[in-house]
Structure 1
Amino acid sequence: MINKIVAVQGNHPSKLNPLTDTSVFLANEIQNKKYKIFYYDPKDLSVINSKVTAKGFFIKFNYNNKKFYKITKKQNLDLSKCKFILIRQDPPFNLEYISTTYILDTIKTKVKIINNPTSVRNVSEKLYSSKYQKYMPATIFTQNLDEIKKFFKKNKKVILKPIYSFSGNDIHLLTKFNLKLVNKFINKHDHIMCQKFLPKISKGDKRVFIINGKVCGAISRVPKKGSILSNMSKGAKPTNIKLTSKEMKISKKIAKDLKKENIFFAGIDFIDQKLNGDINVTSPTGLKTLYDLSGKNLAKTFWKELKE
């Protein structure tokens, strides 16, 4: 009998918002099936005597309590004793993130790890979308100033995004070409993504949830007044929506490709029926929000698909 332990590699629970957090939502669901939840921070992952261990704690979640979690026991755990490991820490996708994928690679034949650590490393959240550019607004990936200038001249309003950040952080709308600003941006982030601005973002984006190669649901997130950011962490308001047939067709194609890449759980985003180029595979979010809006529980789907 394999130990009924699910390990979550993530940001400390004290930093999470239980009202919207997907990691808590997934953990709570499997906890109801009598699994124990073990939680650890990426910096507490080690290889000792050829064993992959993590210094963390067993934890119980309870949505009804003001403090939604309780640490029951601190432990240094041999992670090969787990049934599942969820990689759920937020980017930036930096060298620490990459190192954890290399460490977890060594036990992925013994433990089911979601998403597959090799795949998390190979599917760069922004750069992977370069193969779907026909579904996207005009987009370039570069750190070449001349290319950015040319791109700006053609598109007039341009969004600058770092390739390895998350959650709407460091996103900049360029309405007039500012050499100093662009230079500073490149110096900070190296290669960046430049994308033609889509004004319909004011009406919201659509986040599509992909589980095991299937398109399972979607929500819309409408930026707060005066903002271009549709991230809920930046104050956007979620609403219930349906996908258009065009969005559905694109989503199914990407879902099929991601399954081939060994990505089990992902989130992709549309603005004005165009793919915005964020293929979220590190720690996709929004499942709890979908449940609150529609009663559709994709945490159940997640674990059911995983066990099959």
Structure 2
Amino acid sequence: MAEKILAIQGNSFKNLNIITDTTYLLALEAQRRNYKIYWYETKDINFINSKLIAEVCHIKFLENNKTYFKIISKKNFELKKSKVIFIRQNPPFNMDYVTSTLFLDTIKNSVKIVNDPTSIRNISEKLFSINFKKLMPPTIFTKNLDEIKKFIKINKKIVLKPIHGYAGKDIIYINGISNIKRIRKYLKKIGHVMAQKYLPGIKYGDKRVFIINGKVKGAISRVPSSNSILSNLSQGGKAVKTTLSHKEINVSNQVAKVLKKNGIFFAGIDLVSGYLIGDINVTSPTGLPQFKELTGINLAKNYWDELEKLK
């Protein structure tokens, strides 16, 4: 019987926070299913003699152990020989990321790659929400100061987000037209932004919804710390158990259907007050350990059940 290899393209495995890291949870479940874990970073990929080769570390992840990994060996490995490849490095979505997807495109017809490299390259995590304007609060995408002034005049309080931002970085709240100097400086630094009507419901948290193979599988609520509009767990937000309303399930199902059609197997989307707020996380979705901690349900099992059904 052929070896089952899971190759993971990620950041260094030596820096994982195993309490909160979704990749670690997915890898543990893979090991339970007798996959060997080969880990590499984007710097380790080479295309030589018509083969996509990575310098990999064969590692074994350990549970309930202070040292959470053991390096078995290091070697050059032809990625086409993997059974599954995970693209799990953290944003930013930059040219290094784009290059890695172009490399992986050369073998994607021979190996299951999650998420599909063409799809994550084509689906900008903020801009893709253009497809769901009816499900969102008033939103524009621009780097034109005059357009933002008009938008503030209509909506009063707004939030500005970098189109290619991540983890809640460089998101700012604008209350009224008196902040023009600040906005001008921000646009000069960031370029094109998503400008969105501020939803006061954010103080009660957003909902991170998990979508696996086109199905809505659950959600956690992320509540900002006091005096903050940022619910991201990396920005001090707190994960809280939650359920989805009928409206939220309907919104999530509409997005899930389009994501599956576009080749996305695993995604996390964010809702506030029943609205999609434009964050459609497809590069390296997170939150499964927090969901497991709050509900006792390990969605990594469901993830692998769904993945192993795919041809």
Confirm whether residue 283 of structure 1 aligns to residue 301 of structure 2.
Answer: no
CA distance in 2 between partners of 1:74 and 1:176 (Å): 56
Which residues of 2 match residues 223-302 of structure 1 at below 5 A? 223-302=224-303
Aligned to 1:117: 117
Contact 2:156 2:176 in 1 (8 A): yes
Q: Which moved more, 1:65-74 or 1:257-266?
A: 65-74
SS in 1 for 2:250: helix
Aligned to 2:197: 196
Q: Which moved more, 1:239-248 or 1:14-23?
A: 14-23
**What is the deviation of 1:183?**
2.5
Q: Which moved more, 1:41-50 or 1:123-132?
A: 41-50
SS in 1 for 2:73: strand
Cα distance 1:2–1:191, how it changes in 2: closer, same or farther (>3 A)? farther
CA distance in 2 between partners of 1:2 and 1:298 (Å): 27
Question: Cα deviations across residues 89-143 of structure 1 (Å, max 9, x unaligned)?
Answer: 1111111111111110000011100000010011111111012111111110011
Confirm whether residue 146 of structure 1 aligns to residue 146 of structure 2.
Answer: yes
Aligned to 2:181: 180
Question: Cα deviations across residues 128-184 of structure 1 (Å, max 9, x unaligned)?
Answer: 101211111111001111101111122121111111121101111112443332223
- TM-score if structure 2 supplies the norm length? 0.96
Code of the aligned partner of 1:158: I
Aligned to 1:20: 20
CA distance in 2 between partners of 1:298 and 1:207 (Å): 14
Question: Cα deviations across residues 232-275 of structure 1 (Å, max 9, x unaligned)?
Answer: 11121111111000000111111111111010000111011111
Code of the aligned partner of 2:219: A
Q: Which moved more, 1:173-182 or 1:266-275?
A: 173-182
- TM-score if structure 1 supplies the norm length? 0.97
Contact 2:57 2:71 in 1 (8 A): yes
- TM superposition outliers: structure 1 runs of 4+ over 4 Å: none
Code of the aligned partner of 2:92: P
SS in 2 for 1:258: helix
Code of the aligned partner of 1:84: V
* Unaligned 5+ runs, structure 1: none
CA distance in 1 between partners of 2:291 and 2:89 (Å): 20
Which residues of 2 match residues 38-77 of structure 1 at below 5 A? 38-77=38-77
Code of the aligned partner of 1:4: K
SS in 1 for 2:286: coil
CA distance in 2 between partners of 1:3 and 1:189 (Å): 46
CA distance in 2 between partners of 1:218 and 1:113 (Å): 24
Contact 1:2 1:83 in 2 (8 A): no
**What is the deviation of 1:44?**
1.6
Contact 2:153 2:176 in 1 (8 A): no
Identity of aligned residues (%): 55
Q: Which moved more, 1:209-218 or 1:69-78?
A: 69-78
CA distance in 1 between partners of 2:140 and 2:15 (Å): 34
CA distance in 2 between partners of 1:67 and 1:189 (Å): 40
Aligned to 1:220: 221
SS in 2 for 1:221: strand
CA distance in 2 between partners of 1:114 and 1:271 (Å): 27
Q: Which moved more, 1:147-156 or 1:238-247?
A: 147-156
CA distance in 2 between partners of 1:99 and 1:183 (Å): 32
CA distance in 2 between partners of 1:154 and 1:88 (Å): 40
Confirm whether residue 129 of structure 1 aligns to residue 126 of structure 2.
Answer: no
Code of the aligned partner of 2:71: I
**What is the deviation of 1:53?**
1.3
Indicate the RMSD between aligned Cα atoms, in angstroms: 1.2
CA distance in 1 between partners of 2:284 and 2:213 (Å): 15
Contact 1:224 1:236 in 2 (8 A): yes
- Tell me the matched-pair count: 308
Code of the aligned partner of 1:114: V
Contact 1:116 1:263 in 2 (8 A): yes
Contact 2:216 2:253 in 1 (8 A): yes
CA distance in 2 between partners of 1:68 and 1:184 (Å): 44
Contact 1:40 1:55 in 2 (8 A): yes
